Chain A
Amino acid sequence: MHYLARRTAVAAVTLLTVATLIFLLLHLVPGDPAEVLLSSGGMAPSHESVQALRLELGLDRPLGAQYASYLGRILQGNLGTSFQDHASISAEIAQRLPRTLELILASTALSLLVGVPAGLLAALRRGGFWDGLFASLASLGLSMPAFVTGTLLILLFSQTLKLVPAGGYVGFWESPGQHLIYLLMPAVSIAVGLIPVVFRMVRTSVLEFLEREWVRTARAKGLGERRVLTLHVLRNALSPVVTVIGLHLGTLLGGTVLVEYVFNWPGLSGMLVQAVEQRDYPAVQGIVLVICILFVLINLGVDVIYGLLDPRVRTR
């Protein structure tokens, strides 16, 4: 309980910091914020439009008051309205968020499914054929940006072999099978970069835990090799793997942005890229904030899982 409370407190502080930074960023850029937002390609915006924007964003009020109303707004779940169509940003995000989450979840599951057995096998046959093969594949995978993987997958499976659609989306309830087909390639593209991370971590930590004294104790008491490996090595080796996935989440979310763009996946990131292209700052702000909250919450989740995996952490 203690542990969870502390983790939650840390998460809350991080969230406040992130929210504050997102607020401040506009004011940190040299120049008048409204002018900065409106200027493009060295063209100075007209005086009237700058004034109008100031009023709209409340930039004419003192900074403290702006900050207070910004925080108040966020706490109510109101992320403001878009520059583009004055639609509610929160509503749009709420609609798209689950799709991004689904993508992240699918690619993480895929990475674990491939990375854990591969890492285990490589560790047990260290220095052998599989170890070498997997290690080379892993360094190749780490060098493949998700958007390149995605583009190449489309080239191969959609354009050349015509097996799967190049991108798009169907709601799960409309057609579950079709939905999963659309999900497949984006999830694989992200997983290609994440599998090596999982693989390396599993391999390293299995190798490390194999020589732990309790593993010797387990063998010394006459347990079968399979039981020793699954219950006394792999079970313990998973804790560092969970941590590493948490640490890589930042990169993972970045990859999601690109992959959603490549596959026209209507998640948060597609909205984000569009908003950035259109310099729709309130929308960008809102999405980044939501993704950061997600980032922090998933990390909190990782900590909770970590606690479940390791009884020592729970009581500490």
Chain B
Amino acid sequence: MAKHVTQNLALAFLAGIVLLAILAPVLPLPDPIAMDVMNRHGSPSFAHLLGADEFGRDTLSRIAFGARASLAVAFIAAVLAGVAGVALGLVGGYFGGWPEILAMRPLDVILSFPPMLLALLTVALIGPGTETLTVLLAVLFVPTYARVAFGETLSVRHHEYVEAARALGHTAPRILFRTILSNVAGPILVQFSLVVAACILLESGLSFLGLGVTPPESSWGLMIRGARPYMYQAPMQLLWPCLALVLTVYSVNRVCDMLRDRFDPKAAVLWFPAPRKTARAASPAAVPAMGKMLDVRGLVTEIATPRGVIRALDGVSFSVRPGETVALVGESGSGKSMTGLSIMQLLPRRVGRIAGGEILYAREGAERSGASAAAAVDLARIPAARMRAHRGQEIGMVFQEPMACLNPVYTVGFQLTEALRAHGRMTKAEARARAEEELRRVGIPDPARRLNDYPHQLSGGMRQRVAIAIALCGRPRLLIADEPTTALDVTVQAQILVLLDDIRKMQGIGLVFITHNLGVVAEIADRVVVMYCGQVVEDGPVEDIFYRPLHPYTRGLIASVPQDGGSADKSRQLFSIPGTVPNPLDLPPGCRFAPRCPEAIAACTKAPPAMEAAGAGHQVRCIRWREI
């Protein structure tokens, strides 16, 4: 809110200053260059509202005429630079090749000079003066516009509307100035306000040095220069032009921010309050069901987006037994990754939050960390500090992008020993020996040497093995793997799957395997949880899901798995289900799958279907599962 107030004030101030500048000659102001030695540093009076300067000239009048000079120079320079720069950028970006080199290269020369110095060099050459200054500033800022226009033109050059104009036989100039220019106008307008501010600053600086606007003309920079020697006797004479200058530049900057908000698609997000203030009351029956190590019940997770709060998870329930592999399956946007992040309390801070439900976890291994043997915890409610003790030692997590999941600036050894030492006290040497062992365990050859490698020196598969080693080095009882094989090629994918499966078998850990690839699921999972639009739509043993799928969405998924051997490469992995995932801000009423469902009937859009038991350990969210 405060932002809008200051923005409006800035706009009002700017409008006032511009009006003052334009109207200065017709306003009933004293002559700005008429000296009156008797009235040196005269205090404010009715005739001189802001007093008089060191020559007895009227300060208000000089401020007004100074605004006229500063703004005129800045505005004209910004327009001239804009016209030239945009033209060069458009031509360079549209044609490419030689025109690009001719238009853009020379500009780099201007950029290799600090602007103030190029200005001083020119003034030394041809002497100060308002016209010189304007032309100079214009030249200085041509590259700024040209770069923006060039970049924007490049990005729209192959857009449909440009191609369409070309197909219609429009000439290049017409396409450039009608079609493209109108589409790059926003960023250029932002640039314009930036350049105006920069010009005002440079102009006032040069005038302050006595090398810009020349006396007796008025300029804020000159006024500050003149008042400086007398600042002790007449501080207000110094402060007025300073105030005018700073407020004007500030207002222009605020207007620039406003323009940027308007043209930038990434609008501001309204953040959630800090988590501590919204601690949710403890749930009454915080114990997982018999034999379950993880029992997620009715989990609701909200995400703040620029266009409103969405429910990324809306009542998600599923459970994991020790030694069991549960696959969470769904298209992107189904909420499967959010589920993993919610369990780990790794939702983006103040952007995502758990708004309901429980994540019950049985701490069978409580004795290992030395904590008192509490039977169970609710991970959705425990404070961050206690959650930290669970991460890595109770629950480990592996992420999708092996490229991004390791910090590029540290060696593998650093990142692995860091994890080891977070789990238990050990010396550097011990940690290093353990690290070597951990790498060997995940099948990395020559581990001692790999420890000194940076992530970018390893292949994707190797990086993912390192990530798995990091996740497992605290001996967690549950591993959440978020699409760990998606970014890898097929053979490496298979190797990683085998590795994960071996580790699960050997250590009896529970595995939550998040994927969009049903082919992978068939190889590894015991149970499958199918998600759609933040809800579980079907949950059952892997055989049931593959041989007796009940939900039309599950059927669509299975039908779209390539027949030739499961895990196929990404390009052929496109689902054949018609339509797209609905916008989470605008979910269909009733069944969320209805718009894409081949079996949909009128009743489907009436009320949201509930989860129904459809067999031993098999549940489905569809009102027609019995019939179809």
Partner-B contacts on A (CB < 8 A): 14, 17-18, 21-22, 25-26, 29, 36-37, 39-41, 125-128, 132, 136, 139-140, 142-148, 151-152, 154-155, 159-160, 210-214, 216-225, 227, 231-232, 235-236, 249-251, 253-255, 257-258, 261, 272-273, 275-277, 279-281, 284-285, 288, 291-292, 295-296, 309-312, 315
Contact = CB atoms under 8 A, between A and B. Distances in A.
B224 A213 contact: no
24 contacts: A21-B113, A25-B122, A125-B274, A127-B270, A143-B246, A143-B249, A143-B253, A144-B249, A146-B205, A151-B231, A151-B238, A155-B239, A210-B349, A214-B406, A218-B415, A219-B391, A221-B474, A222-B391, A222-B423, A227-B422, A231-B418, A254-B205, A273-B209, A312-B454
B249 A288 contact: no
A11 B208 CA distance: 33
Interface stretch (B395-403, B554-562, B599-607, B609-617): B395-403
Contact of B116 (A160, A257, A277): A257
Nearest to B120: A276
Contact of B224 (A36, A148, A221): A148
Contact of B121 (A219, A288, A315): A288
B242 A235 contact: no
Contacts, number: 235
Nearest to A257: B116
A235 B418 CA distance: 15
A42 to B, nearest CB: 10
Given A25-B122, A37-B125, A217-B406, A222 B474 contact: yes
Contacts of B209: 257-258, 261, 273, 276
Contacts of A40: 127
B204 interface: yes
Given A36-B125, A148-B242, A284-B121, A159 B389 contact: no
B344 A272 contact: no
B375 interface: no
B463 to A, nearest CB: 11
B333 to A, nearest CB: 17
A249 B350 CA distance: 35
A280 B491 CA distance: 72
B407 A214 contact: yes
Interface string B211-238: 1000000000100100010011001001
Contacts of B419: 221-223
Contacts of B221: 147
A10 B188 CA distance: 29
Nearest to A256: B116
A41 B117 contact: no
B124 A217 contact: no
B442 to A, nearest CB: 15
Contacts of A147: 204-205, 208, 221, 224
A126 B400 contact: no
Contacts of A258: 116, 205, 208-209
Contact of A221 (B112, B197, B422): B422
A214 B404 contact: yes
B393 interface: yes
A277 B346 contact: no
Interface residues of B, number: 86
Contact of B408 (A224, A253, A291, A312): A312
B476 to A, nearest CB: 9
A97 B554 CA distance: 73
Interface in B350-392: 350, 384, 388-392
Contacts of A125: 274
A36 B132 CA distance: 14
Nearest to A299: B112
Chain B residues touching A, majority SS: helix
Interface of B: 2, 6, 108-109, 112-118, 120-127, 197, 201-202, 204-205, 208-211, 221, 224, 228, 231-232, 235, 238-239, 242, 245-247, 249-250, 253-254, 257, 270-271, 274, 341, 344, 346, 348-350, 384, 388-393, 396-397, 399-401, 404-410, 415, 418-419, 422-423, 454, 456-457, 467, 470-471, 473-474
B250 A222 contact: no
A143 B228 CA distance: 20
Q: Count chain B CB atoms within 10 A of each CB in A147, A222, A284, A288 and give the residue with the most.
A: A222
Given A17-B109, A311-B454, A292 B117 contact: yes
Contact of B205 (A145, A217, A309): A145
A90 B471 CA distance: 61
Nearest to B421: A223
Contacts of A295: 112-114
Contacts of B126: 29, 36
Contacts of A37: 125
Contact of B246 (A144, A218, A254, A273): A144
A310 B409 CA distance: 5
A118 B363 CA distance: 40
Contact of A236 (B112, B346, B407): B407
A292 B111 CA distance: 11
Nearest to A132: B2
A154 B253 contact: no
Given A147-B205, A214-B407, 7 more contacts: A125-B274, A136-B6, A148-B245, A219-B391, A221-B392, A236-B409, A273-B211
Q: Count chain B CB atoms within 10 A of each CB in A36, A155, A254 and give the residue with the most.
A: A254
B276 to A, nearest CB: 12
A83 to B, nearest CB: 11
A221 B205 contact: no
A18 B393 CA distance: 59
A276 B121 CA distance: 8
Contacts of B422: 221-224, 227
B123 A276 contact: yes
B399 A217 contact: yes
Q: Count chain B CB atoms within 10 A of each CB in A26, A128, A152, A225 and give the residue with the most.
A: A152
A256 to B, nearest CB: 9
A304 B245 CA distance: 38
A213 B393 contact: no
A254 B205 CA distance: 9
A232 B274 CA distance: 22
A151 B401 contact: no
Nearest to B341: A216
A228 B414 CA distance: 13
Contact of A220 (B123, B211, B346): B346
Contacts of B113: 18, 21, 250, 288, 292, 295
A155 B397 CA distance: 59
A227 B257 CA distance: 34
A184 to B, nearest CB: 19
Contact of A284 (B124, B390, B457): B124
Contacts of B114: 249-251, 253-254, 291-292, 295
Contacts of B123: 276
A254 B115 contact: yes
A29 B384 CA distance: 68
A249 B111 CA distance: 12
B454 A151 contact: no
B117 A139 contact: no
B221 to A, nearest CB: 8
Contacts of A152: 242
B117 A253 contact: yes
B409 A159 contact: no
B17 to A, nearest CB: 13
A255 B346 CA distance: 44
A249 to B, nearest CB: 7
A149 to B, nearest CB: 9
A258 to B, nearest CB: 5
